[in-house]
């Protein structure tokens, strides 16, 4: 079990991106993982190709938010 004593961020906080390809964009935190990675709504969009599981299904291409390191974001509005 990792020691997660520095909890600056919470789900629902509004943050702005301070570095990277999405610099200057704002979004809401939707997920926090234990290795200092955040998923922010509408930031770091990645394309995921999904294979069909059965013969009748079709494959699809989904756009999902990828993780971004917490050092690349700054809190704007804190959820209470």
Digit-coded pLDDT (tens) for 23-73: 999 999 999 988 889 999 999 999 999 999 888 889 999 999 999 999 999
SS3 34: coil
Whether 6 is covered by a domain: the verdict is no
Residue 5 within any structural domain of the chain = no
Q: How far apart are CA 43 and CA 63, in angstroms?
A: 11
Closest C-alpha to 22, from 1, 2, 45, 6: 45
Q: Domain span at residue 60?
A: 13-77
Q: What is the pTM of this model?
A: 0.76
Are the beta carbons of 63 and 46 closer than 8 angstroms?
yes
Residue 55 lies in a domain: yes
Cβ(72)–Cβ(17) under 8 Å?
yes
CATH of the domain at 38: 2.30.30.30
Beta carbons within 10 angstroms of residue 75's beta carbon? 14
| Any domain includes 26 | yes
Number of domain units in the chain: 1
- 30 is a domain residue: yes
């Amino acid at each position: 079990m990792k020691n997660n004593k520095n909890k600056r961020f919470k789900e629902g906080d509004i943050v702005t991106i301070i570095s990277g390809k999405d610099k200057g964009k704002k979004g809401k935190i939707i997920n926090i993982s234990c290795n200092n990675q955040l998923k922010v709504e509408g930031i770091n969009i990645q394309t995921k190709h999904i294979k069909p599981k059965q013969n009748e299904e079709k494959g699809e291409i989904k756009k999902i938010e990828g993780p971004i390191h917490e050092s690349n974001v700054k809190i704007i509005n804190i959820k209470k």
